[in-house]
Amino acid sequence: MRKLLYALAASALLFTSWAQAQPELRSDHPERYTVVKGDTLWDISARFLNNPWYWPEIWHVNPQVANPHLIYPGDRLALVYIDGKPRITKVATSDVVKLSPQVRSEAIDTPIPAIPLDAIASFLTETRIVTPEEINGAPYVLEGEDGRIITGAGDRIYARGEKPADRVGIFRRSKEFVDPDTGEFLGLEARSIARGNINAENGDVLTVGITKSSEEVRIGDRLLVNEDRRLTTSFVPSSPDNEIEGKMISVDGGVSQIGQYNVVAINRGEREGLTAGNVLAVLKAGNMVRDPVTGETIELPSERAGLLMVFQAYEKMSYGLVLQATRPLAVGDKVTNP
């Protein structure tokens, strides 16, 4: 009898967990919505769902479409029910526009992004995670033209080392990421400073013309292959396939408190199953309090305080953008499945 009760309890727990892990419509969700310029996929998902990362499960579109998640300003979305389940789909407009024979010009529509791309642009196109060996073995800046030690766009610099490519990025060694729990080295951030073209070689001395710079180039900065990465809008909110338990280990800009649209680094990456688009819950670490009876120091339970989306995953770590924060967050706060 006891075994039967245990089995029933386990089944009930599994059913409850399954039931909770479903898309939940907001009580105030719209029946129809017209996409406007400035929207993001996350914004639209949050209009319909309490848990926006389940967007792929309720999005209904013609399977012949090459990329079904592309949504454009002006698209009209409707909440419908198919086989009793809620689905969001594009609907045709009934508006009729009469065109007269004259020249008309319109901006080419681009699909709305999943999240605000301006907040993460430099991480997707420039800044990257490398190994110490990669950056230590890369050519380094000797000096600028006319002996200058600080140079920028339009200037010429000299570097020493083996030519990596005709077009290069100029990087500065930045943060070293180490797992706060295990001490494992996770990666080295190479921060983008400028771009340039190698115009001449004289032995192992390279002459580089700087074509673009975000900061002054300094002696000792390193030259790496210009990867020419481009911003992507293809990722969509999703829940990780695996169980994730990690921490925020750094925040861009060195601020003490983390809020909405801050970029953070977390100590979990591709080897743990994270991919771009995965949404994680942020748990605010509980306070440390002294037990008045025993004198022990006790950590209070963590509380859910925000959501972030992974936008760039590396082998051992990832970058994420905080999308919601109900209270100030901090480095060391936990991240887990939403």
Other CB atoms closer than 10 Å to residue 48's CB: what's the count?
Answer: 24
Q: From residue 86, how far is each of 59, 65, 121, 134, 302 by CA, in Å?
A: 9, 20, 34, 50, 33
Averaging pLDDT over each range in 12-26, 149-163, 236-250, which range is the top one? 236-250
Question: What does the pLDDT read at residue 195?
Answer: 92
Strands 217-218 and 167-178: unpaired
Residue matched to tokens 């992974």 = 310
Q: Which residues of 266-305 are buried (b: 16+ CB within 10 A; e: fewer)?
A: bbbbeebebebbbbbbbbbbeeeeeeeeeeeeeeeeeeeb
Other CB atoms closer than 10 Å to residue 221's CB: what's the count?
Answer: 22
The radius of gyration of the chain from alpha carbons, rounded to an integer in Å, stands at 25
CA-based nearest residue to 156, from 110, 223, 207: 207
User: Residues 10-40: pLDDT tens digits?
Assistant: 334 333 333 346 788 999 999 999 998 888 8
- For the segment 324-332, the average pLDDT, to the nearest whole number, is 90
DSSP 8-state symbol, 241: S
Question: What does the pLDDT read at residue 62?
Answer: 54
CA-based nearest residue to 224, from 249, 246, 248, 193: 193
What distance separates the 2 farthest-apart alpha carbons in the chain?
A: 89
Per-residue tokens: 296: 């022990």
Tell me how far apart the alpha carbons of residues 247 and 264 are, in angstroms, rounded to a whole number.
Answer: 10
**Sequence-ordered list of residues with C-beta below 8 angstroms from that of 315, at least 6 positions apart, any chain:** 187, 269, 270, 271
**Sequence-ordered list of residues with C-beta below 8 angstroms from that of 263, at least 6 positions apart, any chain:** 119, 120, 123, 251, 252, 253, 319, 320, 321, 322
Enumerate the H helices of 21-131 as residue ranges. 41-48, 55-58, 121-125
> What percentage of the chain exceeds 90 in pLDDT?
47
Q: Which residues of 237-258 are buried (b: 16+ CB within 10 A; e: fewer)?
A: bbbbeeebebbbbbbbeeeeeb
Tell me how far apart the alpha carbons of residues 336 and 279 are, in angstroms, rounded to a whole number.
Answer: 9
Lowest mean pLDDT among 98-102, 209-213, 327-331: 98-102
Tell me how far apart the alpha carbons of residues 314 and 316 are, in angstroms, rounded to a whole number.
Answer: 6
| For residue 233, pLDDT beyond 80 | no
Q: DSSP states of 295-316 as a string? A: --EEEPPPEEEEEEEEEEE-SS
> What percentage of the chain exceeds 70 in pLDDT?
83
Give the containing element (helix H, strand E) for 54: none
| For residue 8, pLDDT beyond 60 | no
User: Residues 82-139: pLDDT tens digits?
Assistant: 888 888 888 876 554 444 555 444 444 677 778 887 778 777 667 889 999 999 999 9
Other CB atoms closer than 10 Å to residue 135's CB: what's the count?
Answer: 18
- For the segment 302-321, the average pLDDT, to the nearest whole number, is 93
Bridge partners of 90, per DSSP, are: 77
Global pTM?
Answer: 0.77
- For the segment 143-160, the average pLDDT, to the nearest whole number, is 83
- For the segment 61-80, the average pLDDT, to the nearest whole number, is 72
- 165 touches 226 (CB < 8 A): yes
Enumerate the H helices of 59-131 as residue ranges. 121-125
Tell me how far apart the alpha carbons of residues 307 and 285 are, in angstroms, rounded to a whole number.
Answer: 14
